[in-house]
Amino acid sequence: MTTLVLFLDILIASIFFFSFYSKVSQLTEFKAEIFSYKIIPVYFVGLAAMIVLFLELYIFLAYTFSYPSMTKELIVLTTLSLFSVLMWFKNRKSSSIVCGCFGKVRMLNKFPFRRNFLLLGVITIKCFLPHIYFDFTRHLEIGISIVILVILCDISLFLGKKKRDIKWGQLEL
């Protein structure tokens, strides 16, 4: 049971850190994505972007350090539900089912409703599992590992894009 709880904590923390990292690295595109929903005035787009980034960073830290409260689950359930409702409204207006939640990773942006409902299910299951806690250094190691993996993933995406853009024979080191 401990392994399952730890796996789910790491999975949720990784997803939200990856989302946070993707949005921070492309902040202008993220603000344009928020504006495309046409729900809030343009002068509140920056504030909305900062709130979303803060929530995603909080969720990452809460799951990384196994914050022993149902508050994190309630925040995630509320956030994902709100995102799903907003995407549904956008879909009705523009017939666009993709989102820019994960930046350059098209696979994670393709089916946002399925992804969010799957995450809602995982969070709901997590609510009924027992809480685990390790010492601070173990949680810090987990957090640093997640950050390193996300950065390595970003580097591999960057190199993959460069490889498509130029031929390897033209590459000078």
> What's the pLDDT tens digit per position in 14-62?
999 998 998 898 889 889 888 888 888 999 999 999 999 999 999 999 9
- Any domain includes 170: no
- Any domain includes 34: yes
Going by C-beta distance under 8 Å and a sequence separation of 6 or more, which residues neighbour residue 132? Answer: 2, 5, 6, 9, 66
> Containing domain of residue 51, as a range?
2-165
DSSP structure class, residue 110: H
Average pLDDT of the residues in 82-89: 87
Give burial (CB, 10 Å; 0-12/13-18/19+) of 156: exposed
- Any domain includes 172: no
- Any domain includes 51: yes
- Any domain includes 102: yes
- Any domain includes 82: yes
- Any domain includes 88: yes
Two tokens, residue 30: 């993220």
Q: What is the pLDDT of residue 97?
A: 66
Domain count, the chain: 1
Predicted TM-score of the model (pTM): 0.81
Q: What is the pLDDT of residue 164?
A: 64
DSSP for 44-60, written as a single string: GHHHHHHHHHHHHHHHH
pLDDT digits (tens, 9 = 90+) for 102-115: 766 667 777 788 88
- Any domain includes 21: yes
